[in-house]
Every structure is written in C-alpha cells, then in structure tokens.
Amino acid sequence: MYKAIVSCEVITPMFIAGADGKTPELRAASIKGVMRFWWRALQGEPDLGKLRQKETELFGGTSGEGKKGIAARKSAVKIWVQKLRFQIENNPQKFREEGINYLFYSMITMKDNRRKYYKPGTSFEIVLLSREEQKLEQALYSLEAASLFGGLGSRTRRGAGSFCIKKVEINGKSEKKWILPNTDDPYEVKDFIKQVVKPLSFSPNYTTLKNSKVLIFEPREDWQSALAVIGNAFKNFREKNKAKAYETPAFGFPILHGIREGNTRSYGGFLKTNGKYEEIGRRASPVILKVIKAEENYFPIVVHFTNEFLPPGAMISFAKGRNVDLNGKQPTTSLVNEFIKQLTSLNSYSLKVEF
C-alpha cells in the first residue's frame, strides 16, 4: 500500500459547511469532488467517454460494465481528513478592504445571514491511500493543482477557501517536490508551477489548464493585502462596466441587473436546438482570483481559462419573472480579456505563466 499524508493550512476564509449548510465542516467527500475537477483540468482528454472511464478508475463511480448496464466501481484512492485543528469565526464581520467584501459577497455582506468560516491558519491533514503508486501520484497532482489554482468551499473562484500544502510524507518519507519553496520571487513561483503542473491536453468542452494563463503578482505581507490587490481591481472594473448587461455574464452567470430599480433581470444563456429552447442556467467564471502562500509571503494569483464558455449557437439573454427574451445576443469574452489586460497594466509587476 502507498500512503501519503498531506499537511495543509487555510490561507483565506474557508466557507465550507456540513449537512446544515451553516456549521463549518471539512469532509473527505468535498475534497474528493475538488480533486476530481482539477484532475479533469489536468487531463484535457477530448473524448468524454474515455475521460469518464479514467476518472471512474481513479476516484470511483458508476460505469456501464455491469450485467444490467450499470456497475459501481470503488475508488482506487481512499481519502480522509485528520488532525483538523480548526479556528472557526463564529461572529463574521466585514473585512477592511471593500474589494474582499465584494468578492465574498453573500458569504459576508448580508448582516443577518453571514456565514461562519474556518479562519486562516486552520490546519488539517489529508490522507491518501492506494494500492498503486501511479494512482496515488495522480491524486497528489490533482490536490497540488487545487492548492495552487483553486480552493475548498464556496466562493473559491473569488478568493475564498485558498489553502497551501505545507508538508507531504509518502510511506513515512518526506517529499519536498510538492512544496512551494520559501521565496518572495514570483519567478521562483513560476518555476515551481511549471515543474509540478503539467497539463496533458486541451479540450474546448470543459475547463482545462492547457492553454490557460496564470498571472502572479508581487507578494504581500498578509492574505488580506494580497487578495485586495486583485479584489479591488475586480470590483472597480465590474462597477465601471455594470451597464454592459450582455457582456458581464462572461464572468459567470446567472447575474442580476436592475436590483435597486425594482426591475430585476436575471441574465443567463439559452440554446436553440431543432426549434426548442433549452435554458443554460449556470456557468462558472473563467477567471479565478486567489492567494497562494510561500512561508510568510502571500502572492495574488489570477487564473484565466480559455475554454469554450458556451456551446456553439448559444445566446446570452435575460428573464424578468417568467418572461424570457428569446432574441438574445451572441456571447463575447471581450470584457474578460479587457480585465486581464488591465490587471497587467495596473500593477507595477506581474508575471504570466502559460501552459
């Protein structure tokens, strides 16, 4: 058996809950779900059938191999959480930077419904167990990608739930290749990312790291200062362009417009096929804002995915109540591209990593 113990630390507030949706709880199932996503992002397998088969072999699931066409397959990697030394914020308040409050939005801005969270500094261990060394390594690569580009819980694409890997032991032996070295140099961060993150292929059909871009900015002294660099820029850009109702859904939807005027419209997408309209209710943002940590240095990070945002022929439209505008407009990523370009010019230093 091959066993990896991965010691982790929460970098930014982690809004993750159990069955009641309120009490902070870090579960193996949540971690596995995130690892699945980043494993797929690393694979980039264009054949979705092959992708599902490989994913099922690694993480478990159902397949069409049984006598009745469906068979359950156990995960090749067992996952559990241990030594959770949690610090819970039971009385959440707004943060000092308005850009951070904007990013966390519903988690923190609604006074009567603010979410409790695991505080930065909370530590925990993720244990991975497999009979196959290669399967264990695949799981570690997906967890590494999650720590560098994603997070755990809600609002991870807007800076919440970032965590770092502090130590990795495999069968009792320390493995340093998974650990971001202590540095204040963005070039060293870039070199580390290029060393441990190696996307295999690109698929336009789902989120992949291949062909994506990563912006690394100068480090700051704490997580709030780091997240504010990109959070304030994002807030200002979105507010400046809020009138562009058909363009802003490119940052993810549904998105509401006209809330204060009492004329609320929910913008999203739809696809017309064979004369029938199919609603596309939700799309995750192609832009991730987050923080990574190298000892006492906190680096603002922006990830920009370049996969197809909507299927061919889909349109951006709005609904007011039950009335849906079926004319719509062609989706465009021009506003997202403008934001990425602006980020590189607003800050005195940024470094681009392209896969």
**Whole-angstrom Cα distance, residue 270 to residue 311?**
10
Task: Give 83-93 pLDDT, tens digit per residue.
Answer: 888 888 888 88
Token pair 């809330």: residue: 259
Of 253, 308, 309, 311, the closest CA to residue 282 belongs to 253
Quote the pTM value: 0.91
Answer yes or no: are the C-beta atoms of 299 and 293 closer than 8 Å: yes
Of 103, 223, 230, 99, the closest CA to residue 162 belongs to 223
For residue 154, what is the DSSP state? B
Task: Give 202-224 pLDDT, tens digit per residue.
Answer: 988 889 999 999 999 999 999 99
The residue among 18 and 9 whose pLDDT is bigger is 9
Helices (H), the chain: 28-43, 48-59, 98-104, 133-149, 186-196, 223-240, 334-346
Q: How confident is the model at residue 96 (pLDDT cuts 50, 70, 90)?
A: confident
DSSP 83-148: EEE--EESS----S-HHHHHHHGGGTS-GGGPPPEEPTT-EEEEEEEES-HHHHHHHHHHHHHHHH
Is residue 342 helix, strand or coil?
helix
Token pair for 205: 């059909």
Task: Give 148-179 pLDDT, tens digit per residue.
Answer: 999 999 999 999 999 999 999 999 999 999 99
Answer yes or no: are the C-beta atoms of 243 and 178 closer than 8 Å: no
The overall average pLDDT reported for the chain is 88
Q: Is the pLDDT of residue 3 over 90?
A: yes
